[in-house]
Structure 1
């Protein structure tokens, strides 16, 4: 068989000619690798059109594996006018090419939304800095900027520390499995134990990333009148399901409620349910006894104070250290719970959501005695 050029040896300027004259002069596996090179060049800021033409040729490749590679690139392909290319792949006769195109277009839309959010966030920061400078002078604006940078650095530092801790554990468990495998000492029981630890680490990372994303997202400004009893019931259901899913035995956890049925608050339901979930989950995880069989009482009392509702959540758990409460009050993520179940973002995210509703979240805690969290929100 004649030797076929490797993609590294193919000049992209010559690739179009080669593919047009004799497509089979380049092996299909190399044609597939050409796709990533073309997309990389298009993303580097160079003139898009020559590479776009080459990509269109590759999109007509008889091999579905090559077409699928092009379909995968739709998510990050530069330029706005890709509808024709997307339509072609969405109607591809091979289902897995069409599926790849569908997933890529979903991801492209998601990336576009995130990009717009980031731009709006940056525009908001610039506008706030200008507003502070106009109202209070340049020195005050610079001080506010420095404070924001300090909070940002603190957030990143705390998050990286927690993630490094988990990554160290993942690496150690993986290395131990490999060592035992190489020495012939790897037993099924040992392997299952390590896999359980690794799965727990990955679950923590997933929750950490989700909590970080929620921390960064702005709270919706859409409000509706909602029954507090309904919000609390929904939050309790989510917490119980979540904790049982993590293998916790909640048979000795008692939750008492005292909620006037007629009280409603005007809130974003999603965000306040999430805030209540974080508060209640934290209360259950901080109860006495071991992490898998918590034991104690969580009380939820709701009352009216003028034109506001007070939602008080008390637990008989181990309490929160004073320094962690100070961090939460500054909307800074705390450290992970002593049982290692929490990400440190829970009460902080609850604080942000409540404040965005012109409300107040108060935390009072005595170590080894319990914690009281009070949410004060405007009535509907």
Structure 2
């Protein structure tokens, strides 16, 4: 506990049980705030929980609101009792804080249930593989999955260290300069760097979440031209939001209006957007500037399958980088890339969930072409 020791809690609890106003209300509010530190560590005692209950009945609404803010840290039984009381409090600030805590608790429970369900599904799939193909095949599949997990986590840790190291460096420099008088220009430089890295961290977490989302089974008949144009618009807008002038780009789209497919619209738009963003970013010269170039998207129908190509005349990739990219490991980036490393793996995952395929070819200094093959109809297995 940051302010009060264990004996302090016991002594204060005894006083407050005898007289709710035995200590000044501002000290009671500080006591409520300090309780959150101990509850967050998971080392609470019965005295801590009894003190929460006492402060939930405090005469001052400012104290009750602090208890409302820490409700999500309580064990289930204590949470239910305190939340029921505070969500019906006479003070609006207390009620709103309690309602927010209830909402956070429900979201946390849903997320935990989803994680448990996901783990159970994976275990069931390994059991089914063992039943159909034998113990050896199931063991090999498990080892491959574990290896892919290790590589993916390693790539993400590498990305996170690349973010946290400069943040730590800039923070350390800011702190060291405080004593000697902080220069506004240098402070601005450090804070800008921290802000940029935090923004990247947010993108990384968003991309990790997108990659891990389950693919919906529902499919609807969609016009491919609409999906592609939506994706291109999103990709271009993303660059404009970053301050790039996109008028130097040629962005031809040649997708016949009569090509349709059964698809989960959002996933296909995300997949094509990610590929288009990579293509446009290959034309980045330096921060805030694109060189003149072309990113084209064309499609044709070959039997019952669609062939979609996204091609750029950007910098291209070396054979070594191309080999690495073709592994489609989430979080893995090349030296030329400045993204999170989840764009193409997410696209490939979404395309394959539709029974399709995705490949990539590139020549250093000439450009890159990503080819997407999609069926026009979804089989029962694919959907």
| Structures share fold, TM-score greater than 0.5 | yes
**How far apart, in 1, do the equivalents of 2:268 and 2:177 lie?**
48
Q: Find out whether 1:204 has 2:200 as its counterpart.
A: yes
5+ residue gaps, structure 2, are: 378-383
Per-residue deviation, 1:178:
3.5
Q: After the TM superposition, which of the residue ranges 356-365 and 91-100 deviates more from structure 2?
A: 91-100
Aligned to 2:286, the other structure's residue is in SS state coil
Q: After the TM superposition, which of the residue ranges 95-104 and 153-162 deviates more from structure 2?
A: 95-104
Aligned to 1:146, the other structure's residue is in SS state helix
Question: Structure 1's 268 and 77: CA in aligned 2 closer, same or farther, altered over 3 A?
Answer: farther
1:8 is matched with 6
1:103 is matched with 100
Per-residue deviation, 1:52:
5.9
Tell me if the contact between 1:328 and 1:348 (Cα under 8 Å) persists in the aligned partners: no
5+ residue gaps, structure 1, are: none
CA displacement 1:12-70 (0-9 Å, x = unmatched): 5x7655333112234413541464378469x6698x8x876653332222233332232
**How far apart, in 2, do the equivalents of 1:126 and 1:237 lie?**
40
CA displacement 1:281-338 (0-9 Å, x = unmatched): 1111112533422221100102112122222100111123445544554441254364
Question: Structure 1's 19 and 182: CA in aligned 2 closer, same or farther, altered over 3 A?
Answer: closer
Q: Find out whether 1:77 has 2:81 as its counterpart.
A: no
1:318 is matched with 315
2:250 is matched with 254
Tell me if the contact between 2:156 and 2:331 (Cα under 8 Å) persists in the aligned partners: no
Q: Find out whether 1:21 has 2:18 as its counterpart.
A: yes
TM-score normalised by structure 2 residue count: 0.86
TM-score normalised by structure 1 residue count: 0.87
Tell me if the contact between 2:129 and 2:138 (Cα under 8 Å) persists in the aligned partners: yes
Question: Structure 1's 201 and 34: CA in aligned 2 closer, same or farther, altered over 3 A?
Answer: closer
Question: Structure 1's 340 and 325: CA in aligned 2 closer, same or farther, altered over 3 A?
Answer: closer
Alignment of 1:1-380 (within 5 A): 6=4, 8-10=6-8, 17-26=14-23, 27-29=27-29, 31-33=31-33, 35-36=35-36, 39=39, 54-79=51-76, 85-184=82-181, 186-188=183-185, 190-287=186-283, 289-295=285-291, 296-333=293-330, 335-336=332-333, 338=335, 341-379=338-376
Per-residue deviation, 1:258:
0.6
Tell me if the contact between 2:325 and 2:334 (Cα under 8 Å) persists in the aligned partners: no
Q: After the TM superposition, which of the residue ranges 87-96 and 148-157 deviates more from structure 2?
A: 87-96
CA displacement 1:206-263 (0-9 Å, x = unmatched): 1111111122222122211122122122212222221111122222121111111122
Tell me if the contact between 1:76 and 1:108 (Cα under 8 Å) persists in the aligned partners: no
Q: After the TM superposition, which of the residue ranges 107-116 and 75-84 deviates more from structure 2?
A: 75-84
**How far apart, in 1, do the equivalents of 2:160 and 2:135 lie?**
37
Question: Structure 1's 126 and 279: CA in aligned 2 closer, same or farther, altered over 3 A?
Answer: same
**How far apart, in 2, do the equivalents of 1:338 and 1:331 lie?**
15
**How far apart, in 1, do the equivalents of 2:4 and 2:75 lie?**
26
Per-residue deviation, 1:167:
1.1
CA displacement 1:111-159 (0-9 Å, x = unmatched): 1221122111110121122122222222222221111111111111111
Aligned to 2:253, the other structure's residue is in SS state strand
**How far apart, in 1, do the equivalents of 2:221 and 2:72 lie?**
39
